[in-house]
A and B are shown apart, each in its own frame.
Chain A
Amino acid sequence: MSKIGLVIKREFESRVKKKSFLLATILVPLLFPAVIGVMVYFAIEEQKNAEQQIVYVVDEGNDFELEDDKKYAFTSLNTDLESAKTTFNESEAYALLYLPKMDLKDPQGMVLYAKKNPSLQASSYFENKIESHIRDKKLQASGISEDQLADLKTNISLRAVNISESGEEKASSAGVAYGIAYAFSLLVYLFVLIYGNQIMQGVIEEKSSKIVEIIVSSVKPFQLMLGKVIGVASVGLLQFTIWVVLIFVLSTAVLTIFGLNPADMQSAQQTMSGMNGADQESVEAIMNNPEVNQMMQIVYDIPYVYYLSVFIFFFVSGYLLYGALFAAVGSAVDNVSDAQQFTLPITLPMIIGFFGTFMFVMPEPDGNVSFWLSIIPFTSPIAMMARVAFGVPTWELILSMVLMVVGFLATIWIAGRIYRIGILMHGTKVNFKTLFKWMRTNS
């Protein structure tokens, strides 16, 4: 076996044989579905037991007849706004909806008063409710009879499904893309952070236990560093694979235990996201729901091979880039607490990449900031993974990949030069100037 192979093997075995590895590998997947299971359970219970909340309505124009539904009971107050406010303040009611006398063509001046900030869900719920009411009114005003309106309503609702089919197609595909973008960038971020730190600790351990000089009399420091980086990576990949498989299996098991079939999940999700109307479709309706089918189709149509190969590329190259830097930091210090001043500048670009992905890439994958985040090697593994999910021009992807390769080769080279000197230095106070000096020194 080659020397670098021996180093990789030792790094791998010494970590995998540890009890803490076994514990973390098993406990994390146990905790994960447990947390999700508990959350889903409570969400459903809450929905089942949710009390109707009272909403007072001051309808000055007497235009609206709001029907009660599962969530809200509407009570009309035939007073002016000021006394209604007083009544509302003294009551347990959830909100006070003020609907002034209005011109239907230009409805304005509606206010929702609430004791606490109403959630986004709630306010959009009321908006929708009023909007549809106004629409009805307008239709009525244009001379359509009550019967015709009732007829129309069934029509409209059918059409609405159609409209939402084409409208939702985009929306749900964006949803899926969003999910993938989220998952991939989070994975890259977590992996680099967790295992990068492990590399650093490994290097510090070698240095502080003073075995390193014995090792480098047999192995080139660069080989030792690379062996360590790769060894830790293989531990991480193994652990991640086990986690993904276990989480998947256990999640399925947990969901089955709670007796949740996919339809329930779907309706729970819809309720939670506030898209659920008062009297939603039955289970069959959901199963036959074109939206659901559409969603399945979208999930089915994802170019998995493409995503996965891009993911593996950025995953590995991003890890190598940061892993080498963590190794260099480990080599420069004598103990973990000294490492902090150097880990911040390393983790900062990663944090920028991570939050930039959420703030810029996800809302606007093709924006200027998104472009630069996904091109610069330090942030690109995270940002580009998010962009790929939304679709990215091939030339940008290739440019990003080329820069990434250049970037990780350069950082590994720099890290190697710091490492070979750092590991032999004991008790030296190191700052960035010293690191720079080491980088330029010939060994």
Chain B
Amino acid sequence: MNILSANKLNKTFHKNVALRDLDLEIPKQSIFGLLGPNGAGKSTFIRIVNQIINSDSGNIFINEQPLAPEHIGTIGYLPEERGLYKKMKVGDQLLYLAQLKGLTKKEAKIRIKAWLERFEATDWINKKVEGLSKGMQQKVQFIATVMHEPELIILDEPFSGFDPINANLIKDEILALREKGSTIIFSTHRMESVEELCDHIALINKAEKILDGEKVAIKEQFKSHIFEVAYTGNIITANEQFDLLSSNKRPDGVSVSKIKLAEDTSANDLLRSLMDQSVNIVSFQEEIPSISDIFIKLVQGNNVENEIVA
């Protein structure tokens, strides 16, 4: 079941197309990576989901219900451009934001206390935000995003500006929230930062979706069938099954070679063939493309295509 599905979304700003016929299915309890370069249309999509702006056409469904004002409490949103009221106390601020999301004052107070305890920050409650460090402010922002236990959590460039310790802390919290049933959307142009967390991915470029699916399946699809083998001795790979792309001899006498497999040749075939030769294998691994590699490959291809069309 999908927590969110978007159907042919279009949005144009003064002749600039921000989204073109965007379809998206976000499965429940997934960690969904919405990836793409700056200006691809990610933030526009997120703002439409948050009902900050309206789409020109198309539909969005939350839990199979058309998107409506009631869904504000279902969603937790951490925008890319985020901040807090500087002169307001942390406790008052969280209370205000929680009440705006529809929590009662009483309930909100209990949760604020619990979250601050969780982050070992109970003594912040009466501090003004301007007195907090940047890292502390980010934690407060994160609490504000998830405090009302939203089913759908949308994080736009979540790790920009986070130090590694806080980033890890937040990652752990995100995984814990998913365990409890929340769905998380990451939007970022820094793909390496979320690659390990996501299980689903959509790539957006120039207002259009160019790829989506399960991360594992995508990687499978974009596998290059190149294996990196480290060994001592000599190998012969001149046949139609294997293609030796490069070979380097390291100072310690170990050679590292990249071997591309032909279609319907398996890793086992390669291993078997290597073992038949008189070499000692030190390591053997498949070169898996990163999402970033896949993205660059696709975007470049896409751009070239566009240029040709233009």
Judging by beta carbons under 8 Å apart, are A214 and B85 in contact?
no
**Does B50 contact A217, Cβ atoms closer than 8 Å?**
yes
A156 to B303, CA, bound (A): 104
* Chain A residue nearest to B14 in the complex (CB): A437
Interface residues of A in 212-261 (CB under 8 A from B): 213-219, 221
Inter-chain contact A209/B85, CB cutoff 8 Å:
yes
Name A218's contact: one of B72, B84, B87 (CB within 8 Å): B72
Given contacts A10-B96, A211-B85, contact A218 B79 (CB under 8 A): no
Q: A309 contacts the other chain (Cβ, under 8 Å)?
A: no
Please state if B75 and A217 are interface contacts (CB–CB under 8 Å): yes
**Stretch of B33-41, B97-105, B203-211 contacting A (4+ beta carbons < 8 Å):** B97-105
Contacts of B100 in A (CB 8 A): 3, 6, 215, 218-219
B99 with A1: CB separation less than 8 A: yes
In the bound complex, do residue B83 and residue A211 qualify as a contact, i.e. CB atoms below 8 Å apart? yes
Chain A positions 128 through 166: 1 when the CB is less than 8 Å from some CB of chain B, otherwise 0: 000000000000000000000000000000000000000
* Listed residue (A210, A215, A218, A443) with the most chain B CB atoms within 10 angstroms of its CB: A218
A442 in contact (CB, < 8 A): yes
Q: A3-B100, A6-B99 are in contact. Are A217 and B72 (CB under 8 A)?
A: yes
| B99 x A217 contact (CB < 8 A) | no
Measured between beta carbons, the chain B residues less than 8 angstroms from A71 are none
User: Is the Cβ of A214 less than 8 Å from the Cβ of B96?
Assistant: no
- List of B residues within 8 angstroms of A426 by Cβ: 81
Is B227 an interface residue when CB atoms closer than 8 A count as contact?
Answer: no
A219 partner residues in chain B, CB cutoff 8 A: 100
Chain B residues in 8 Å Cβ range of A18: 87
How far in angstroms is the closest Cβ of chain B from A380?
Answer: 36
A14-B144 CB under 8 A given contacts A213-B81, A215-B100, A217-B52 = no
Q: CA separation between A80 and B72, bound complex, in Å?
A: 95
Among A6, A10, A213, the residue within 8 A (CB) of B82 is: A213
Q: Are B14 and A441 in contact (CB under 8 A)?
A: yes
Q: Which residues of B have CB within 8 Å of A210? A: 79, 81-83
Question: Known contacts being A3-B100, A6-B99, A218-B100, is A213 close to B88, with CB within 8 Å?
Answer: no
Given the complex of chains A and B, what is the CA–CA distance between A209 and B56 in angstroms? 30
B86 beta carbon closer than 8 Å to chain A = yes
CB <8 Å contact, A213 and B52: yes
The interface bits of chain B over 67-109 (1 if a CB of A lies within 8 angstroms of the residue's CB, else 0) are 0000010010111011111111000000011011100000000
Q: Pick the contact of B86 from A209, A424, A443 — CB < 8 Å?
A: A209
With a cutoff of 8 Å between Cβ atoms, the chain A residues found around residue B13 in the complex are 441
Could you say which residues of chain B place their CB within 8 Å of the CB of A218? 72, 97, 100-101
Which residue in chain A gives the minimum CB-CB distance to B69?
A: A220
DSSP class of B's interface residues: helix, strand, loop or mixed? Answer: loop
B52 touches A424 (CB 8 A): yes
CA distance A206 to B144 in the complex (A): 16
Report the separation of the CA atoms of residues A205 and B129 in the bound assembly, to the nearest whole angstrom. 14
Interface residues of A in 1-26 (CB under 8 A from B): 1, 3, 6, 10, 14, 18
| Docked pose: A62 CA to B261 CA in angstroms | 134
Q: Is B166 part of the binding interface, using a Cβ–Cβ cutoff of 8 Å?
A: no
Q: Does B53 sit within 8 A of A, measured CB to CB?
A: yes
Cross-chain contact A443 with B54 (CB below 8 angstroms): yes
Chain A residue with the shortest CB-CB distance to B49: A217
A209: which B residues are within 8 A, CB to CB?
A: 83-86
Segment 39-73 of B: residues with Cβ below 8 Å from A: 47, 50-54, 56, 72
Min CB distance, B270 to chain A, in Å? 52
Closest to B105 in A: A1
Residues of B within 8 A of A215 (CB): 97, 100
Q: Which residues of B contact A424 (CB under 8 A)?
A: 47, 52
Q: Please, which residue of chain B has its CB at the minimum distance from the CB of A3? A: B100
On whether the beta carbons of B72 and A214 are closer than 8 Å, the reply is no
Smallest distance from the beta carbon of A438 to chain B beta carbons, Å? 10
Q: Which of A177-232 contact B (CB under 8 A)?
A: 205-206, 209-211, 213-219, 221
A271–B54 CA distance with the chains assembled, in angstroms:
70
Q: Is the CB of B87 within 8 A of A214?
A: no
Return chain B residues, CB-CB under 8 Å to A206: 85
Q: What's the Cα separation between A217 and B101 when bound, in Å?
A: 9
Shortest C-beta distance, B310 to chain A (Å), equals 27
CB contacts (< 8 Å) of B56 on chain A: these are: 442
B interface list, Cβ under 8 A from A: 13-14, 47, 50-54, 56, 72, 75, 77-79, 81-88, 96-97, 99-101, 141, 144
CB<8 Å pairs between A and B, sample of 28: A3-B100, A6-B96, A18-B87, A205-B85, A205-B86, A209-B83, A209-B85, A209-B86, A210-B81, A211-B83, A211-B84, A211-B85, A213-B52, A213-B81, A213-B82, A214-B79, A214-B82, A214-B141, A214-B144, A215-B97, A217-B50, A217-B51, A217-B52, A219-B100, A221-B52, A426-B81, A437-B14, A443-B54
Q: A211-B82, A221-B52 are in contact. List 5 more A-B contacts (CB 8 A).
A: A3-B100, A214-B77, A215-B97, A216-B50, A442-B56
Nearest 9 Cβ contacts at the A-B interface? A210-B83, A218-B100, A213-B79, A209-B83, A217-B50, A217-B77, A210-B81, A211-B83, A443-B53
